[in-house]
Chains A and B, each alone.
Chain A
């Protein structure tokens, strides 16, 4: 399932996938895979992404 919340949070901060990837220490393709729903990140990476975009885990990764 696509993670549109992450994509919109990133876009709201005007961050590119590469910039977010650099901020959390992963490759651009990893961010792309998370947004497309092709990869389930570990909790450690989820927390790093949340801190980078200023959101909580619930806001970005909780599925209704």
Chain B
């Protein structure tokens, strides 16, 4: 069983590397510009600022909560990782809803497929860990084995936001 899981892990890693290499190759042989217009750049700047404030606020609130109550609900690595996922989600969701997530020449469908794939990979990886005996919590605390599930949720939220945006966008497309 362990050999099968190890083989699956290696296969996932190889698949990721292949996708990465193909993407890099395609971009280097593509004359299209992957840039954003002035409104998109402005929107991305605002989203970036909000993501930063979200991360700072999250870290501050969790630090105050931990020190005041003495309740340690998670290990530090996982706690910070949740904050990072949260702030990245704030950035992407704000970009998605202000039409600043994809550049001028990109198609949203590719991003939806990519985020779905990443969510699936994270989820299967975390599930494999669970089946292999690495639980997501220990002694009432969430541990780093849960990060796969957390990133899977973060990517899934992005996919959902993109789909909702596509539906909303189809109404204005006809104008």
List residues of chain A with CB under 8 Å of any chain B CB.
Answer: 17, 25-30, 32-33, 39, 41-42, 44-45
Contact = CB atoms under 8 A, between A and B. Distances in A.
A30 B37 contact: yes
B30 interface: no
Contact of A26 (B37, B169, B173, B175): B37
13 contacts: A25-B104, A26-B37, A26-B38, A27-B37, A27-B39, A27-B104, A29-B172, A30-B38, A32-B172, A33-B39, A44-B38, A45-B37, A45-B38
A27 B40 CA distance: 8
Interface pairs A-B: 8 shortest CB-CB: A29-B99, A26-B37, A30-B39, A39-B39, A30-B37, A27-B37, A42-B38, A32-B172
A41 B96 CA distance: 20
Contact of B104 (A26, A41, A42): A26
Given A17-B175, A32-B172, A32-B175, A27 B99 contact: yes
A14 B172 CA distance: 17
Interface in B18-49: 37-40
